[in-house]
């Protein structure tokens, strides 16, 4: 009588394969329902409401595969097989009191642990949309339904200009930053500019640790030092990062003296000073940054009078003090 072991092993292998296949995340079935429920209201195609045109927040469309791949005004939000480098995942796993936490408090319920785990799994498996394309309204002709051949938006054109002549760096180049507790990732695929984030280290992120960014300073376009122990001492170095587009310093000890050191960052578009010691005197240092689009001053030492003066100097910028 022939042994049944080979047949048993074959059955076990087939069974394991079947279970694995069943467990693989199906975007349309497992991910799309909670994205539609909790995210799409703020990240959908432009529409009219109460006589006003509502545009997708930060230019990010989550109602279409091509929109998710295209990303926001600030670059890619999805890095297939790298959930820890995907803003789509990072934003929903931040502390719920973080300004960048998604969905914002009061807008929708946070993702559950199960939903967060599924999103992470889907990204790490390769972020396959399957046959789902979503809303094709507003899709540029040059982009396929799945997001191929993405043309630069006006904001992306800025990043493209800043990246001209830059040689791409590798993880080896920024290992000292990671060792110091910073998170580093490319701003977008096929772009040498970098995003550096120390907020997860919190108050342990001192000036000394933040100084590690010096090795890659020429490539940094986004720098997030919110809720860290950064002081004016670090602002000398930050003021030399000529490719900075976004700088987040909210809830730090930065003062007017520190702000004076970044008045040469001509490509700065976003500056968050919420909860800092910056006053009206410091705002005067920003008047020459004509490319600023957003400045956040809530709970800082700045006054409505100072904000009004800055609005006059920067008429196209959003100066938020409330």
Is residue 169 within 8 A of residue 193, CB to CB? The reply is no
Q: Distance (Å, rounded) from C-alpha 246 to C-alpha 248?
A: 7
Average pLDDT over residues 103-114: 90
- The pLDDT, as a whole number, for residue 17 is 47
Query: Which string of b and e fits 121-151 if b means at least 16 CB within 10 Å?
Result: ebbbeebbbeebebbeeebeeebebebeebe
Instruction: List CB contacts of 188: < 8 A, sequence separation 6 or more.
Output: 71, 75, 76, 156, 159
| CA dist 99 → 23, 238, 273, 294 (Å) | 34, 22, 12, 14
- The pLDDT, as a whole number, for residue 94 is 85
Domain boundaries, the chain: 24-149, 154-320
Tens-place pLDDT, residues 170-213: 999 999 999 999 999 888 767 899 999 998 899 999 999 999 99
Tens-place pLDDT, residues 32-42: 999 999 999 99
- The pLDDT, as a whole number, for residue 49 is 79
Looking at mean pLDDT, say which of 55-64, 73-82, 272-281 comes out highest.
Answer: 272-281
> Quick check: 13 pLDDT over 70?
no
Pairing of strands 220-224, 191-197: parallel
- CATH 3.80.10.10, domain 154-320, yes or no: yes
Pick the residue with more confidence: 111 or 72? 111
- The pLDDT, as a whole number, for residue 213 is 97
> Quick check: 149 pLDDT over 60?
no
Give the pLDDT band (50/70/90) at residue 21. Answer: very low
Looking at mean pLDDT, say which of 11-20, 98-107, 198-207 comes out highest.
Answer: 198-207
> Quick check: 7 pLDDT over 60?
no
Tell me which DSSP letter residue 151 carries: P
- The pLDDT, as a whole number, for residue 107 is 85
Sheet containing 318-320, strands listed edge to edge, beginning at the edge strand earlier in sequence:
183-188, 191-197, 220-224, 246-248, 270-272, 294-296, 318-320
| Mean pLDDT rounded to a whole number for the chain | 86
Tens-place pLDDT, residues 231-272: 999 999 999 999 999 999 999 999 999 999 999 999 999 899
Give the pLDDT band (50/70/90) at residue 154. Answer: low
- The pLDDT, as a whole number, for residue 147 is 59
């Amino acid at each position: 009588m022939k042994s049944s072991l080979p047949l048993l092993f074959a059955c076990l292998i087939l069974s394991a394969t079947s279970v694995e296949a069943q467990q693989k995340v199906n975007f349309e079935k497992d991910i799309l329902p909670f994205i539609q429920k909790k995210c799409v209201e703020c990240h959908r195609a432009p529409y009219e409401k109460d006589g006003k045109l509502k545009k997708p927040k930060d230019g990010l469309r989550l109602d279409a595969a091509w929109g998710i791949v295209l990303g926001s005004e600030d670059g890619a939000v999805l890095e297939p097989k790298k959930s820890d480098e995907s803003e789509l995942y990072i934003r929903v796993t931040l502390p719920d009191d973080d300004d960048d936490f998604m969905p914002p408090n009061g807008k929708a319920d946070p993702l559950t642990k199960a939903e967060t785990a599924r999103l992470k799994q889907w990204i790490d498996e390769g972020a396959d949309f399957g046959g789902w394309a979503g809303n094709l309204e507003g899709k540029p002709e040059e982009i396929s339904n799945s997001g191929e051949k993405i043309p630069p938006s006006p904001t992306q054109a800025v990043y493209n200009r800043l990246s001209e002549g830059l040689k791409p760096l590798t993880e080896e180049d920024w290992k000292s930053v990671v060792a110091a507790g910073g998170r580093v990732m490319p701003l977008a695929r096929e772009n040498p500019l970098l995003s550096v984030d120390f907020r997860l280290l919190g108050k342990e992120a001192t000036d000394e640790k933040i100084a590690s960014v010096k090795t890659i300073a020429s490539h940094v376009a986004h720098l997030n030092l919110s809720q860290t122990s950064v002081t004016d001492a670090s602002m000398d170095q930050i003021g030399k990062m000529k490719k900075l587009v976004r700088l987040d310093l909210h809830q730090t000890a930065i003062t007017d003296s520190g702000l004076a050191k970044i008045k040469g960052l001509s490509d700065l578009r976003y500056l968050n000073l919420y909860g800092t010691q910056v006053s009206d005197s410091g705002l005067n240092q920003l008047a020459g940054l004509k490319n600023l689009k957003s400045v956040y001053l809530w709970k800082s030492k700045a006054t409505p009078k100072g904000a009004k003066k800055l609005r006059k100097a920067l008429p196209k910028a959003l100066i938020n003090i409330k």
